Amino acid sequence: AQTVTQSQPEMSVQEAETVTLSCTYDTSESDYYLFWYKQPPSRQMILVIRQEAYKQQNATENRFSVNFQKAAKSFSLKISDSQLGDAAMYFCAYRSRNSGAGSYQLTFGKGTKLSVIP
Amino acid sequence: DTGVSQDPRHKITKRGQNVTFRCDPISEHNRLYWYRQTLGQGPEFLTYFQNEAQLEKSRLLSDRFSAERPKGSFSTLEIQRTEQGDSAMYLCASSSLTGILYGYTFGSGTRLTVV
């Protein structure tokens, strides 16, 4: 079974600065997807960025980028020019790309609570 | 397209009572998922539907839990004889057949408190 580990329960960043959230995962599969989701307080979870494991290029979405290290099974999220609206819980998630049982499940880490200091 | 809707947003119930939650997915999404999120944890998979067929169930889904998706549209999740350990946020998500590449669209969840 796949596992996702987020080792930082809480992080803080000064507004306009850069912060990196860590995520490691364990899998025996070679083809999969990785995601970062943001969950603001009392609001729905939204997709921030995704990475396909067969792509070597790191994904980027505006101020959000990832550092995907497949061999190390590491998938960190970098938030540049942090804004007050970035304050939220951030979850790293894994999904298998293979068809079959369990392939449609997202496996989440425990999350990192990000605070943005004005 | 108003996103994934869940009802109610909050539910307080006494131990032993039955509760039912509803999820309305994005209309063109044929896949629907239920997750449970307890305090300090990430969401955990409960079950998955493709159209009206329930294709996967987690071992977390005990006999007291039942989910349905009649006609492949909205879905309901029922918990019978609720226990305090059922207190959690219940999240619904949906995706299209091809849109899975882009992750799922989540609803705002139903927060259940069992007293």
The tens digit of pLDDT for each residue in A43-101 reads 889 999 999 999 889 999 999 999 999 999 999 999 999 999 999 999 999 998 876 66
CB contacts < 8 A (A, B): 60
Instruction: Return phi, psi of residue A42, to 5°.
Output: 60, 25
The share of chain A scoring above pLDDT 90, in percent, equals 80
The pLDDT of residue B100 is: 61
Of B42, B56, B104, the CB nearest to A109: B42
User: CA-CA distance, A42 to A56, in Å (whole number)?
Assistant: 35
Tokens, residue B90: 């219940």
Phi-psi sector, A103: left (phi>0), alpha (psi -120 to 50), beta: alpha
In this prediction, residue B33 carries a pLDDT of 94
pLDDT digits 0-9 by tens, B37-79:
998 899 999 999 999 999 889 888 889 999 999 988 999 999 9
Q: For residues B105 and A77, what is the distance between their CA atoms, to the nearest angstrom? A: 20
- pLDDT for the residue B97: 72
Q: Considering only alpha carbons, which residue of chain B is nearest residue A91?
A: B42
Cβ-based contacts of B103 with chain A (< 8 Å): 33, 35, 37, 47, 50, 93, 106
